[in-house]
Structure 1
């Protein structure tokens, strides 16, 4: 036990999110962490598949029993999770960015993804299960493009995966006061300051059509605002637009 963190480690699971979701029925407390060396059916954001080599990466989920306002606070909470990961990595002089909505990018390559699943009571969350996949020591990603790991991007670093998970969870725990005290302006500004490709001409795909645009910011609702060539500023929800890079 670290402070109020409760770690449950498994050698093999289908999905850490799924396991932790099941454990909520047994009333496990907030800040329960489930990790696995092997994950056979890990999920990414918006039903994407998260592929991870066994024993090489940090695949874990944690539980928060907290009444977030669904309309006003969940998008900010996603921003908080993303930016706290980049802040944590900065301890090793690793300068990472956030690719909307919540991929962690290092040297133009994805090293981490986040999946937040919720159970609601009215317009508030009863609890959130936050799943994270962070590429640590994997060095072969086959034909996957724009994917990397901490080991590939900085060969000097040598992380023990379980110690990495414990340290990151302690960082989350120590910085959750920003959500509790509603420091939303700080979180929002930090997220937008770390936004991948912000202010740069990029190519986007919208309804199978490619066009140029410039990311302006992500709004309070979590939507991406892009200044599109010949179309002006438009706001997009996830899956409505794809950044090509």
Structure 2
């Protein structure tokens, strides 16, 4: 008997960007695989997400694809393959094709001209945005997310994955990150601005995709737009290449947190 297929919505980039930045088109996925996915995610969304985030944090490292928008050039996005590692209190990121490494908050480069770099301010901000994406920050946010919503099955890299939408309050998130990864944060939290009508939403809005085994395959922050796609968990920690030079000194990176 011929296989039946589900229609799963998958984001694709288009020239005429919508307000959300993406549109969705259907992609056919084997129905049996989707049914296994639905069975695996029949439980409480909060518990499913918490367990997935805990397993990801416990893995300590991953091969990743990082995508980020420039903080000053909203239409500039950079997507690169790299590697992240995290073991409290330290975190590290390697994006070799961009000639960028980060240890905690300190960003380094290897002294050669990376492919495609033209020396412009736009290129520098483009590089900077991608090199600041943090896996333990996004994973920690999932641990304190409130009332997650199960959106439905979608396709990630050709595989069915369940998408969840969560909203994270900044106070518990900041407290957790300062406790578990203090080298990524300021020693003391910034004072909370008074809440008045019309104040901007300071909450963190995230989407997370889990496969049929309950493993995280993608986490996306909506503003600023940052995405980490996890290709494989585990492996060695990220280390700086010989001759790497400091580009940007983070607020805590040279005060007892740096591994240099």
Q: Same fold (TM over 0.5)?
A: no
Report the TM-score when normalising by structure 2. 0.24
Which protein, 1 or 2, shows the higher relative CO under an 8 Å CA cutoff with sep ≥ 6?
2
Report the TM-score when normalising by structure 1. 0.25
